[in-house]
A = this chain, B = another copy of it.
Amino acid sequence: MTDQATSITASSIVAGTDSDRADVAAATTAAAEAFGAYRATSPEERSAFLEAVAGEIEADKDAIIREAVRESGLPEGRITGEVGRTTGQLRMFAAVVRQGDHLGVRIDPAMPDRAPLPRADIRQRMVPLGPVAVFGASNFPLAFSTAGGDTASALAAGCPVVVKGHPAHPVTGTLVARAITRAVEKSGLPAGTFSFVLGGIETGQELVRDPRIAAVGFTGSRGGGHALVEAAAARQVPIPVYAEMSSINPVVVLPGALDGDVDALATAYVGSLTLGAGQFCTNPGLLFLPSGEQGDAFLRAAGTAIGAASGQPMLTPGIAEAYASGTASLSGTEGIRLVGQGTAAGEHAPAPAIWEAPAELLALDDSTVTDEVFGASGVVVRFDGVADLLPRLEDLEGQLTATVHATDADTQDAAALLPVLELKAGRILVNGWPTGVEVGHAMVHGGPFPATSDSRTTSVGSLAIERFQRPVAYQDVPAALLPLAVRDDNPWGLLRRIDGTLEP
């Protein structure tokens, strides 16, 4: 492949072509040069910069929305919402930085008279890791792309960012990159604080192998994430990769939940399954349904609802092809039956579908049922009681979410499921649907492998800032040399852990 395009820094912007190796090196060199000055910014300066990024995106909102709709095929309402989510995320991280709890200040004061040995004065704070490479996602051209959650949290932590824009929306990415670089310039920050390159797999590999890159954020396919994890591990100095990859988001319907309005429940399921053409990481790809008459009724209602649904344009021809191949594999597997299917609306807007698969297929070393089919395709598996269900859940791979539908009558069963589900997933829902990820302080968008490559964190929500930091201790460092964050006079008014106890 030819793998060439553009790098965008505050100094140079050329849109819509691929970056070459020199562009990648120029971007990472500029990021490394900017790191010292950028990480030295005060909480107020860094917060103001993040707010300036949000402001510059809003200033060019009309063009960004127009191009994102054109490039992604997603409806204008959705894209408009995503702009709000993107700027809201930037402002949330601005508030987090201003508050400063992420600096994790700890002070163990000296004990000069301790016997047998005196204790030194030891102070701890978090420092940023270094320049971060961010890979934009196809399915969120704004909120998980150029100025998305990975970029916002890395910049908030004090790390310069080099984004590899997603080839599915190069112009949108370029417009957002320009907005960020305007904010960099207006904030008086070094040009290398943010750079943008375009390109394919080779460009991405080049970026992850670059010795100046200290961490990687990625949202995309299992194969793509795996390749970056491997490249990062093979470096002379391995670096952390936060790759959000693959999840089928199991939903368990317990018997009590079928005592209510089964039609409404089935319609809500199909609504979540088909939302945005099913192109969400949290799409409910696998549903466990009780055997018996009420389960049958739910399945009939789901079949009817999906039958009435029509296809929506998928993000790229490649994604539409992968959907066709995934559903063909389900369709061609003995024992799997089609419960219902909607109507295709053109070559790249395939029919949504629901399948029923025998539970035995889950136990086999066959991933047809458990591989993510990115798009509006759902598999239903029946079960007889929780004792029958638990081993199936225990066999599942790691997930972003796990959902239980239950009423009070199901409490005992649900209580048996939750300890299993919370070891499988980053987020547990009851009586909801997993699509739609709230940006807040308590959210976890993460989970055990292969949902992500690193379950110890989240890519959505304020905790995400911690991915790009590491602790440093200062022992007997004189006041004049101490970083401001850990000085006695606490000029930034930070919350501090003194001898193990948090003190405001």
Contacts and interface: CB of A to CB of B under 8 A. Distances in A.
A426 B457 contact: no
B422 A127 contact: yes
Instruction: With a 10 A CB-CB cut-off, give which of A423, A469, A480 has the most chain B CB atoms.
Output: A423
A127 B456 CA distance: 10
Number of copies: 2
B96 A500 contact: yes
B411 A443 contact: no
Contact of A443 (B122, B425, B426, B497): B122
B475 A106 contact: no
Interface residues of A, number: 80
A124 B444 contact: yes
Contact of A472 (B425, B436, B475): B425
Contacts of A462: 500
Contact of A502 (B418, B442, B456, B502): B502
B441 A456 contact: no
A421 to B, nearest CB: 9
A475 B441 contact: no
Contact of A476 (B130, B423, B429, B474): B429
Given A238-B453, A419-B36, A441 B471 contact: no
Instruction: With a 10 A CB-CB cut-off, give which of A233, A240, A428, A476 has the most chain B CB atoms.
Output: A428
Interface string A348-384: 0000000000000000000000000000000000000
A35 to B, nearest CB: 8
Nearest to A456: B470
A274 B481 CA distance: 29
A1 interface: no
A428 B108 contact: no
